[in-house]
Structure 1
Amino acid sequence: METGLRQVLEQRGAESPVLIGIRTGGVWLADVLSKRLDIEEPFGELDISFYRDDFSRIGLNPRVKPSSLPFDTEGRDIILIDDVIMSGRTIRAAMNEIFDYGRPASIILATLIDLGARELPIQPDVTGKTLALDSHQRVKLRGPDPLRIEFQEARQ
């Protein structure tokens, strides 16, 4: 994932990018990637709970924390990081929130795992691994130290 991100940044001419991780797994990955990519500016953290399109149906997550973007997003190249992409709805919510802070120059999407079950036309620019799971299987990033991928059986 790190090598792929470096290539995309170079191709796009992204100078001084900032990282934004989507809670919780994306924040853990942003922490690791900020060190590996030598990005000195602190990374941002998004809690997209209020931006979800199913908010009125599922209610508020009891662990909601405010988002924290310790930089201006206006005109910036942003690397948006999530642990798992499936439908694309989490990423849509994250981009809506980012645009509420300001209009970035670009957003590069990096995900550790791509499950490929899109409901929206949103694709990562960089993916660590593409997986195909059975309908009863789930994948979860656990951490933060150590980071590990866990496979689970869904409740019926």
Structure 2
Amino acid sequence: MNAEEIRRALTRISHEIVEKEGTADLIVVGIQRRGVPLARVVADAIKEHEGVDVPFGTLDISFYRDDLTTISVAPVHKGTSIPGDVTGKTVILVDDVLYTGRTIRAALDALIDYGRPKAIRLVALIDRGHRELPIRADHVGKNIPTTSEEVVRVCVKEIDSEDLVKVELLAEHLAANEAAEKKAKG
């Protein structure tokens, strides 16, 4: 997906959300890192077509993960900013890729610390399948079937200097990450 396809998918999703949920008592929350800029696009699109400034927040799930040691030796806490109590609100939770479901399970645990929402609706820009937990997205930008030897990489301008979705072979993805880490260390 290129930048325009990503924008169109998120705009379509924003219309679906308003159609199903309305705008009253709605909060849009992005999961750190790449879910945050995607959530901002959804919130901005709702404001553009409905004239309603929807509360926006960010959610860091680092310490809620059950697979923390397999992801990173020293996780970096990126911060959570939830606009008030979520009790009685409909929370639109946004992430970049829905894969095993573990990120979303952790996000649900983290979100409940901020109150008891009326409902939580999940937005995933990409659903790649391979679920380990019984979790599904309410709104999906695109379904991209993958193998276990592939990685779906979502790039966002705010972090990666471009908006792009691509499928890479796992070995190539790991090699590129290793090269980037070496370059960053100098």
TM-score by length of 2: 0.75
> Closer, same or farther in 2 for the Cα pair 1:28/1:4, shift >3 Å?
closer
What RMSD, in angstroms, separates the aligned Cα atoms of the two structures? 2.1
Amino acid in the other structure paired with 1:148: L
Query: Which aligned pairs between 1:4-153 and structure 2 lie closer than 5 A?
Result: 4-13=13-22, 15-38=24-47, 39-56=52-69, 58=71, 61-143=74-156, 144=158, 145-153=161-169
> Closer, same or farther in 2 for the Cα pair 1:70/1:61, shift >3 Å?
farther
Shift of 1:102: 0.5
Quote the Cα distance in structure 2 between the aligned partners of 1:24 and 1:36.
20
- Identify, as 1 or 2, the structure richer in helix: 2
> Closer, same or farther in 2 for the Cα pair 1:68/1:121, shift >3 Å?
same
In the alignment, which residue of structure 1 is the partner of 2:182?
none
Quote the Cα distance in structure 1 between the aligned partners of 2:102 and 2:42.
23
Amino acid in the other structure paired with 1:74: T
> Closer, same or farther in 2 for the Cα pair 1:61/1:26, shift >3 Å?
farther
TM-score by length of 1: 0.88
Amino acid in the other structure paired with 2:67: D
What fraction of aligned residue pairs are identical, expressed as a percent?
39
Shift of 1:132: 1.1
Shift of 1:141: 1.2
Quote the Cα distance in structure 1 between the aligned partners of 2:123 and 2:39.
10
Count matched residues: 156
Amino acid in the other structure paired with 1:24: R
Q: Which runs of 5+ in 1 are unaligned?
A: none
Q: Which runs of 5+ in 2 are unaligned?
A: 1-8, 175-186
